[in-house]
Structure 1
Amino acid sequence: MSNNRYPEEFKIEAVRQITDKGYSVADVSRRLDVSVHSLYAWVKKYGPEAEKHAAQTEEQAELKRLRKELQRVTEERDILKKAAAYFAKQSD
């Protein structure tokens, strides 16, 4: 297998051969001299369920961002609680 960069049109046509024309991934891989792994990635990106995968990826990124923000805010809250307790002790 070669280590080439392929144009987007080539990738879309390869995916079309798998999804529309019914060729197997292995068969298309051999004929186009492209790795099976690359073809599966292209099917995921350009195939009929590409929008679904893109939405899931966006949701996962948003979930990761929100979890990180929650962790930061929780740590800030804990620090503020400790500071409030410290200053309450000092005022007595």
Structure 2
Amino acid sequence: MAMKQTEEFRREAVRIALSSGLSRTRVAADLGIGKSTLSHWISQYRSTDLTVPEASTDLIRENERLRLENRVLREEREILKKATQFFASQKT
């Protein structure tokens, strides 16, 4: 049974979808709603004045920077894990 979402929930879902850098499929799944529902909400709110406050712009940039940094760190960790496994296998 579908649950009627509050206006606040819808606005927050749209804000996340438009500013998080995540795919709409991922945002919808994370929020427990259908992708078509999210797309519908986005098209509804685009016709209204849903702007991101200027202070949020800095947060969006910071989130993008941190996402990139996290990706680099994950890649470095994977390289180190493989190197550790390789050298451990050479000790025989």
Q: TM tier, shorter chain?
A: 0.3 to 0.5
Q: Relative to total residues, which structure has the larger helix share, 1 or 2? A: 1
> Greater CA radius of gyration, 1 or 2?
1
